[in-house]
Amino acid sequence: MLAADLADDAARDFLMGIALAGGKVHLPLIVAPANNETHVLEIYTPGSVEPLVLFAEPLGAPTVVGFPLRIRPFDPKAKPEARLARAAREAPEAKPASSASSASSASAAAPLRARSIREHKLSKRHTQDLDGVAGVAVPQALIGRELANGKLRLDAVVRSGPTGAVYKAFHRDLRIAVAVKVLHEEAQHDIEFCGRFHAEATAASRLDHPNLVRVLDFGQEQDGLLYLAMEWLDGKTLASVPRPMPLERTIDVMVQVCAGLAHAHGRGIVHRDVKPENIVLVAAKDDDDNDVERVKVCDFGIAMTEADGASPIIMGTPDYMSPEQCRGDRTIDGRSDVYACGVVLYELATGRLPFEAATPVAMCNRHMSAEPPPPRRFAPDIAPELEAVIVKALAKSPADRQPTMRELRGELRALAGAPSSAEPKSDAAARAPKPPIDARSPTASTASTASTASASAATRALFAELTSKPDAWLAKLSQADRRAPLEALASQLAAAMPLLVESRNVKVLFAVRSALDVLAAEKTSGDVWRAEIARSLLQLFAEPSFLGGLAEEALTMETPPRELDELLIGAGSGAAYAMYSTRLKMTAHQATRRRFVSAIRRLGVAALPMIRAGLAKLVERRDHPVAIQMATDLLEAAPRVSDDAAGAVTARYLDGRSSVSLTAAAVSALVGFWGERARSVLLGLLAGDDAARISAIGGLRELRSIDEHVALKVAAAAKTSSSPEVRAAARAALMEATAAARPIAERALGELIVG
């Protein structure tokens, strides 16, 4: 609801003429529009008791003469929801009417005057929402932005693709250039995607292979921005290499690709977007100091599909997608990457893709149903053995392809006459610190399945030592001043972590985390490897299995210990997604809901991206009791911080479809997110049912916004309601009226008392 208090009575007839023509006007408003959707507009003038009521569609940010609006006549007979829907349906596509044009010209020549000046300070996002351009991602707009509390600074856009933009950035602590991939905004609003991003980025950050790009950091900012920081590669992509490529180089490149992917598959990670653009060729030295071409596979853990088998949010690249990816199968394993490697091999050998299509959908259909032309049709001199390898990799059924990436690699090495068991060597890999994951079972989910019985005797002994006397062992870890002993201790600790997680001994886990935090914060230039090893170990505390266990503890304990809170808070947004996932799996007893709200509140702004994404998913499912409860809990847990995007999704819960408790929670959260911007929404709720009125009055009181116009609206809402609760809420609000509104408030209070 909007309001304008104008100084001239003649403005009413003037505005009605514009409204009848569906024209545009600039109008000074008491309350700023919430967004560019249709509002109800009340026009007050000195000589009229009742306001002129119109429909108004905001057309952008205000100018010196007021807010630009398209106005139309108002239908007082329809219900509020129906009125707004009808106004939206009847909105003219174009406005050629001469009366509208002349009215707009007249208003521009003689601006409509307000009786008192109201200054509106709109945020950048609020202005975008009024202009209808919010959410448009421009990669250049992020240049200069700092991420991870200032640790990463984005300096230049390297490339932009379907999943996000890659930037060259500077790492403050390591003092080196890094590559940072920032995912597109739509990814930020899908809670399942965000949860999987944290899970897979954690696992990808623990991969260590000379043919894989090294992930250095990842996270999510308060505004939802998802990022992945990787080593900077000074090379060229395989896409830039002329093809067809010579046989020897084709085999050399793809053997290295297979080696890196085999390492990832062994640790439970499927790439899902293997293509020449994600294969980088860099100059390197082998163990004999000879120049070699080192292959690096990039972009792990971010080409994700929907878990429920629906259309992917961020798709792979259709030219290289396997049939099962094109179908949206729920289970995608390493054989999907084998298929993609088959497409790349076909392209390198023949100079063209196995399929051509005009659209992505058509390309997917060809992958699913068409047989590729034999490579020899385009490359008559191709070795029959290589053609057989390619055709097998491109089989429609995963069962008919090479069963593993190691098998494909072995077949390629056999073509070159090299022993298939040899591993690539790299001086750089030998010098690089080995992440502790190599000392553990390979998958990121190992911690949840490990047991004392299956651990080695040394690991069980360390577990016993850490649970009884952790300080002595952690002191030894912190004081290690040589690389080899520290790496050995780190590997031992990594092996024992699954047992510590399984035991859920949060006091010991907190002690370990604290010791690693100290090491990771070291800035001694000569011993930077100490901080690197500690940071690698700290990724163990971000694993889904670890955070899931902590979340279960937090939701089952009436008074969680301080150490548990600190571990969750230290995990940031990853902990928030773990809490959400765990909460959905548990029976929604009142105690569980209360603990969930309390835990999310303690996470503070780190939980905001999860809350935003969760509310966006649940808003269309308000016919389901579980969704109602979850959305209510998220709104009650929301931090009191300014956030236009969170306010936008919260406002959608105030469309008349929500329950009483959900409406009340949404009003409170909206006031926190939007502040003064929420006024127009709250005023609109005063025309709703009694429960909505009570919530709206409470929100207006919280805004300290009981001015003359609000006092009139609150008094009118109370007079038309028979609810004692509404009248009590109105009296409390009117008692807090501003000085200018006190005469109106006192008169209304007298009428309410008499009534």
Annotated catalytic residue, options 273, 319, 633, 644: 273
CB-based contact 259:423 (threshold 8 Å):
yes
Check whether 398 has a pLDDT greater than 60: yes
Consecutive H or E run containing 282 = strand 279-285
- Helix 506-520 to helix 528-538 angle (10° resolution) is 150
In this structure, of 338-352, 411-425, 559-573, the range with the lowest mean pLDDT score is 411-425
Better-predicted residue by pLDDT, 439 or 542: 542
CA distance 319 to 297: 18
> Which residue is associated with the tokens 């099962």?
324
pLDDT category at 423 given cuts 50, 70, 90 is very low
- Tens-place pLDDT, residues 651-692: 999 988 899 999 999 999 999 999 999 999 999 999 999 999
pLDDT of amino acid 686:
94
DSSP state of 173: T
CB-based contact 685:696 (threshold 8 Å):
yes
- Tens-place pLDDT, residues 206-244: 888 999 999 988 999 998 999 999 999 999 999 999 999
pLDDT of amino acid 677:
95
CA distance 750 to 755: 8
- Tens-place pLDDT, residues 601-647: 999 999 999 999 999 999 999 989 999 999 999 999 999 999 999 99
- Tens-place pLDDT, residues 68-127: 999 999 976 655 555 555 555 555 544 433 444 444 444 444 578 998 888 888 998 899
Q: How far is CA 647 from CA 205, 616, 617, 644, 672, in A?
A: 33, 11, 15, 5, 8
pLDDT category at 425 given cuts 50, 70, 90 is very low
pLDDT category at 502 given cuts 50, 70, 90 is confident
pLDDT of amino acid 164:
84
pLDDT of amino acid 544:
87
Active site residue 273: yes
pLDDT of amino acid 430:
37
CA distance 608 to 601: 10
pLDDT of amino acid 286:
82
* Average pLDDT of the chain, as a whole number: 86
Count CB atoms within 10 A of the CB of residue 410: 18
pLDDT of amino acid 465:
93
Those residues whose C-beta lies under 8 Å from the C-beta of residue 230, and which sit 6 or more positions away, are: 178, 179, 180, 181, 213, 214, 215, 216, 298
Give percent of the chain above pLDDT 90: 65
